[in-house]
Structure 1
Amino acid sequence: MNIELFDPFRPPIPSQIEATLISRSGTNSDTNSGTNSGGSGTLSGRLSAAPMSAVKFNRRGFYLAAGHTDGTVVVWDVLSRCPLRTFPSCVNSEDDEIGVVSLDWSRNSRTLMAAGDEDVLAINLAATPAEGIRVPVIEGLSRLLGGVDVGAIKSAQLKIRKDTCALIVTTEGHVFTVDWGKLGKEQRKQMRMKKRERKGKRGWAKRGGGHQDDESGLDDDEILELLKIKILCNPTSASYKSKMKAKVEKSTRMEHSTVDFATAASFDKSGHSVFVTTRDSVVVFGDEASANTHKELYRWRVEESTSHSTIKGITLSPKGNAFVLRSSGGKGGERVLMYAISCKDGKPDIVFKDPVNTSNMFDDCVFSNDGEHLVAATYGRSKGVLLLWTSDQNFLADTLEGPNLAMHCMAYHPTRSCIATGMADGGIDLWGIPSSWAAFAPDFQALPSNVEYKEREDEFDLNVNVKEDSEQAETEDVDVVTVEKPAVYASDSEDEEEVFSLKMLGCGAEADAKDGLAVL
């Protein structure tokens, strides 16, 4: 993919659905097929599958990870639009309507993290077969807090430069980071010992769902002991205070901020700071590398908030200079509030609203890859709608109407003008910019039949002296060793890393085969 060849004057925002991706991961897996259908904006030709719950592009935009409510994770190749890996039921969930809560890629695309209700599964895609480390984050936090019910995982995000550390938000308002680096090393060590003991015997016994049994030899207590948990936020309700007061005073690991019920959290671009939102405030934490806690830097109250409003989510811009908050309830209805990254007074720079109906809920909100536009997904007028604003002046650039389905999640491609929206029927709609050849040649007309054209050898050569040029080129040295990295990924503050590439297993029936996943 030659990014330098992209037209800089091409429209920055998509305009229509180019393709729909549907895998066999749904409830009707016997009849579904991985297909690429053109986006007509209707339900005709769409197949039924488990609803989508999360989508995420990797850093380069080569792959798209999709999570379903049945716990299945599918990795798609964006260019060929074929499924590369399928991991059925890799996330356990007590509620069949939740499944995969969050997906995130490591910086080099070797690790894919999938979060369910209680566990986080870190999948190593570089291994053959793929290896997964299941991290019981909810059980670890509950045991650390003395058996308190901390709810289920609400969202999870990998740290920017550490693929064994994640930021977790629970449904009961807890925010914490968990590092499973020691756990992964110990489990791999135990597995190598088990393999040597078996001496050629059959490996992991397969179980349902395409996974393999855990034979790492570690019990629950040993697993939880190897987890490193840093608590950022802990609800201060009376019920929690009465249960945790004694535990908090005795444990040195229980130093944490007394923030109200947390609703969302996100790392900044560097991964050193954490932005946490409560019902009406924003709290910023710094990373204390030498301690077991994160230090609270400052906090401020959202100026637009009321007693009936709630902050539902936070999204940082790709450049790291701004962020937006999704707020619902109150007199203002559904709104998106934009702030500078250094804001400390709570006054939003720009307020985005649905110009037609302010009561329509925003299911998700993302920035474009250049940060110049803001995209929000809503369900209005009996169909899914994408609202696109310019992020600097609150101008509604476009309104895109999709199928008669709700958009559960979405992701913006990191380098292309493409939006992936996860639909309620289990499909992924890819919004893009169609090629209009008539725009380059208004008098262009389609020929009724093919015309054979014989091209001269030097017809499109800049210099017709081919022989002279070839003789001069023979004396030039050709560098075949140096790898020139794309300038679009270069940054003064970030070191470039080599990105792992998945092998193409084939399309159609070959790619639909369930891939093995060894859970350590």
Structure 2
Amino acid sequence: MNVPIVDPLQGDFPETIEEFLQYGSMKCIAFNRRGSLLAAGCANGTCVIWDFETRGIARELHDKDCTAPITSVAWSKYGHHLLASATDKSLTLWHVVNEKKIARITLQQTPLSVRLHPGGPPTPSICLACPLSSAPVLVDLNTGSTTVLPAFVSDNGNPPAPNSRNKFSDGSPPFTPTAATFDKYGDLIYVGNSKGEILIIDSKSIKVHAVVPIPGGTVVKDIVFSRDGRYLLTNSNDRVIRVYYNLLSVKGSGKEIEKISSNNNSYENNYEKLKANGASCLTISCELSDAIAKIPWKAPCFSGDSEWIVGASASKGEHRLCIWNRSGRLVKILEGPKEALIDIAWHPVDPTIVSVSVAGLAYIWAKEHVENWSAFAPDFVELEENEEYVEREDEFDLNAYVEKAEEQLINEDEHVDIETYDKDSTFSDLDDSTTMELIYLAAIPIPDTPDEQPDKCLGSSSKLEDSNHSGSPSSLDAVQNGQAIPPASSPMEVDNSTAEEPAEAANSKRRRRLSAKGLELQQAEKGKKPTTKNKSNGKSPGSNGKQVEPVNGNSSAVDDEATEDDDI
């Protein structure tokens, strides 16, 4: 087996900004299961899908009924559908391949985040939405019906009675923003409330099975599961990210928590029983925070292999990413451009992070690979300076016995199987499914216009530039302000007449430098009389078959005219 060329001791996390993507003003992003497609929601209500392998645009989903900014995007399990929520309180389900809108539902509150049910039929019908100032709701995308999830539990184990004052127009009680997510297979829903608790709710019966109190008792802003379903993290207002280990089985967690709940019947207080159930479901693993600066965090998430946790600084004007390992040790701090960060996503497979700035750009953080040439030759030695090599006496001698031993018999009639392939253990949960997963989309090529101005290039639907440093690109300010960035050209490609024609200077066409006599001829063509050193006798050249006589016997004028003709 070949040795990997990348040094394994470097760490599987990104280190610098590789490039950035631009399409309007992007607000949120999400990878599909394989990481081959990247969906982004824009400020004008458009959803764009990038082919992450080629960095090209594969789909542009426009909804004429929605022009409000997109707040969240979510992929279905098989990748054929995309759900988007907007600030106009709408939920829109798209069919990615056909670019068709399947369903559109309007909620009573603005949804900040949405999640599609990870199981069920190929066409998703249930989603989880977290509104701005109300409890999370389960939404049936087929019928439009909603089910409000319990966000709090009283001492007797039942949801508290709503307060009669400060109600909304529909009579629902006010809530502070809450966070919620499905587990890996959608059997349970984990809800974080403003009291600093995690409620574990059955997704079918909407029954609260367990409560896990969070140390500090502050508002839970984010709650995220790892891809393998073994770890859960919460982001609270006390500026601490907490990582929990899931004690339940990843598959069949609903039945297992029912058994735990039925066995704990010795508690007289139902709330104490729910807390006991929660202790059998989650156990805290580590706490992540900045002990010195006490900075708040935004959009934390796991890496694809659940080995790393990344959190973004929520401080104004900072584009900083902090990466910890699963034991809680800080391993890397990534400094980006001086732009606030609003969303991040870790690639499901590769050590790559995509972050979205407040300016609407998506920065791609990648790894700086250090090549390990000993992977190709085990005896490879890297030299710091030239050394004299002494050839061995038998180094290039032929050894017939060794060559004979290396010969292998090849059966040319043997059948070669090119259809069977090894299953990827990372995505083994789809092996028993008959539904084909959508991995790639055919990108729509955009023809290039030869004489296209830089202004038109900046206004095109796709924008992709390179940035080999960890800061903002040098032309970023001009791109954000909508200004044209003329391509750099060498001094030899600039015409002397560009000072007289500034409008043509922005064009990238190559022009030839004219000589001094060529400039005189150019002025003559414009109606100006060229200046000559000598004058002729007024006779036309070649008239009556006679040669033109130069004045005073001087032939310099004729030679100058011949030289100008040669220049022409």
TM-score (norm 2): 0.60
Hey, what's the Cα distance between the residues in 2 that align with 1:425 and 1:242? 34
Hey, what's the Cα distance between the residues in 2 that align with 1:276 and 1:103? 19
Answer yes or no: is 1:340 the counterpart of 2:274.
no
Q: Aligned-pair distance for 1:132?
A: 1.0
Q: Aligned-pair distance for 1:259?
A: 11
Change in 2 beyond 3 A, CA 1:260/1:86: closer
**Counterpart in the other structure of 2:551:** none
Hey, what's the Cα distance between the residues in 2 that align with 1:425 and 1:336? 26
**Counterpart in the other structure of 2:351:** 417
Hey, what's the Cα distance between the residues in 2 that align with 1:444 and 1:121? 60
**1:292-316 residue CA offsets vs partner (Å, 9 max, x unmatched):** x5222122332222xxx32111111
Answer yes or no: is 1:161 the counterpart of 2:119.
yes
The 5-angstrom pairing of residues 302-381 of structure 1 reads: 302-305=214-217, 309-328=218-237, 333-342=238-247, 344-345=278-279, 348-358=284-294, 360-379=295-314
Whichever structure has more strand as a proportion of its residues is 1
SS at match of 2:426: helix
Q: Aligned-pair distance for 1:503?
A: 1.0
Change in 2 beyond 3 A, CA 1:18/1:514: closer
**Counterpart in the other structure of 2:135:** 174
**Counterpart in the other structure of 1:13:** 13
Q: Aligned-pair distance for 1:261?
A: 4.5
Q: Does the 8 Å contact 2:135/2:175 carry over to 1?
A: no
Change in 2 beyond 3 A, CA 1:382/1:123: closer
Counterpart AA for 1:238: S
Counterpart AA for 1:499: E
Q: Aligned-pair distance for 1:350?
A: 1.7
Counterpart AA for 2:200: V
Q: Aligned-pair distance for 1:491?
A: 4.5
**Counterpart in the other structure of 2:96:** 125
Answer yes or no: is 1:238 the counterpart of 2:208.
no
**Counterpart in the other structure of 1:136:** 105
Hey, what's the Cα distance between the residues in 2 that align with 1:242 and 1:381? 32
Please point out which of 477, 496, 505 is paired with 2:444: 505
Counterpart AA for 1:164: S
Q: What are the ranges of 5 or more consecutive residues in structure 1 without an aligned counterpart?
A: 27-49, 139-149, 184-225, 249-257, 446-462, 516-520
Hey, what's the Cα distance between the residues in 1 that align with 2:115 and 2:5? 30
SS at match of 1:284: strand
**1:91-116 residue CA offsets vs partner (Å, 9 max, x unmatched):** 7365xxxx111111112211111111
Change in 2 beyond 3 A, CA 1:379/1:414: same
Hey, what's the Cα distance between the residues in 1 that align with 2:52 and 2:58? 10
**Counterpart in the other structure of 1:432:** 366
Q: Does the 8 Å contact 2:74/2:116 carry over to 1?
A: yes
SS at match of 1:20: strand
Q: Aligned-pair distance for 1:80?
A: 1.0
Change in 2 beyond 3 A, CA 1:294/1:137: farther
Q: Does the 8 Å contact 2:6/2:370 carry over to 1?
A: no
Q: Does the 8 Å contact 1:87/1:514 carry over to 2?
A: no
Counterpart AA for 1:433: K
**1:356-382 residue CA offsets vs partner (Å, 9 max, x unmatched):** 410x22121010111111100115595
**1:146-167 residue CA offsets vs partner (Å, 9 max, x unmatched):** xxxx421121111102422210
Change in 2 beyond 3 A, CA 1:494/1:344: farther
Hey, what's the Cα distance between the residues in 1 that align with 2:94 and 2:303? 27
SS at match of 1:344: helix
Hey, what's the Cα distance between the residues in 2 that align with 1:486 and 1:107? 16
Counterpart AA for 1:367: F
Hey, what's the Cα distance between the residues in 1 that align with 2:429 and 2:437? 16
Counterpart AA for 2:245: A
Counterpart AA for 1:132: K
**Counterpart in the other structure of 2:182:** 267
Q: Does the 8 Å contact 2:114/2:127 carry over to 1?
A: yes
**Counterpart in the other structure of 1:209:** none
Q: What are the ranges of 5 or more consecutive residues in structure 2 without an aligned counterpart?
A: 153-161, 248-276, 375-380, 386-401, 450-456, 463-568
Counterpart AA for 1:14: P
Change in 2 beyond 3 A, CA 1:71/1:479: same
Hey, what's the Cα distance between the residues in 2 that align with 1:161 and 1:136? 21
Hey, what's the Cα distance between the residues in 2 that align with 1:368 and 1:90? 36
SS at match of 1:168: strand
Hey, what's the Cα distance between the residues in 2 that align with 1:428 and 1:480? 39
**Counterpart in the other structure of 2:428:** 490
**1:119-170 residue CA offsets vs partner (Å, 9 max, x unmatched):** 111111222xx101242140xxxxxxxxxxx421121111102422210111
**1:300-349 residue CA offsets vs partner (Å, 9 max, x unmatched):** 332222xxx32111111222122111111xxxx41112222348258743
Provide the aligned C-alpha RMSD in A: 3.6
Hey, what's the Cα distance between the residues in 2 that align with 1:93 and 1:423? 21
The 5-angstrom pairing of residues 81-92 of structure 1 reads: 81-88=55-62, 92=66
User: What fraction of aligned residue pairs are identical, expressed as a percent?
Assistant: 21
Hey, what's the Cα distance between the residues in 1 that align with 2:419 and 2:339? 50
Hey, what's the Cα distance between the residues in 2 that align with 1:422 and 1:167? 23
**Counterpart in the other structure of 1:75:** 49
Q: Aligned-pair distance for 1:284?
A: 0.9
- Residue range with higher mean Cα deviation, 276-285 or 493-502: 493-502
Counterpart AA for 1:64: L
Q: Does the 8 Å contact 1:65/1:74 carry over to 2?
A: yes
Counterpart AA for 1:424: V
Q: Aligned-pair distance for 1:426?
A: 1.6
Hey, what's the Cα distance between the residues in 1 that align with 2:129 and 2:382? 54
- Residue range with higher mean Cα deviation, 339-348 or 169-178: 339-348
Hey, what's the Cα distance between the residues in 1 that align with 2:343 and 2:39? 12
- Residue range with higher mean Cα deviation, 11-20 or 230-239: 230-239
**1:172-194 residue CA offsets vs partner (Å, 9 max, x unmatched):** 222121122xx4xxxxxxxxxxx
Hey, what's the Cα distance between the residues in 1 that align with 2:296 and 2:6? 35
Hey, what's the Cα distance between the residues in 1 that align with 2:403 and 2:74? 52
Q: Which has the higher contact order (CA 8 A, sep 6+)?
A: 1
Change in 2 beyond 3 A, CA 1:60/1:509: farther
**Greater C-alpha Rg:** 2
Q: Aligned-pair distance for 1:416?
A: 0.5
Answer yes or no: is 1:477 the counterpart of 2:411.
no
Q: Aligned-pair distance for 1:438?
A: 7.5
Q: Does the 8 Å contact 2:134/2:174 carry over to 1?
A: no
SS at match of 1:434: coil
Count of aligned pairs between the two proteins: 384
Q: Aligned-pair distance for 1:8?
A: 8.9
Q: Does the 8 Å contact 1:72/1:89 carry over to 2?
A: yes
Hey, what's the Cα distance between the residues in 2 that align with 1:273 and 1:312? 19
Counterpart AA for 1:418: T
Q: Aligned-pair distance for 1:90?
A: 6.3
**Counterpart in the other structure of 1:205:** none
Hey, what's the Cα distance between the residues in 2 that align with 1:124 and 1:59? 16
Please point out which of 131, 135, 152 is paired with 2:110: 152
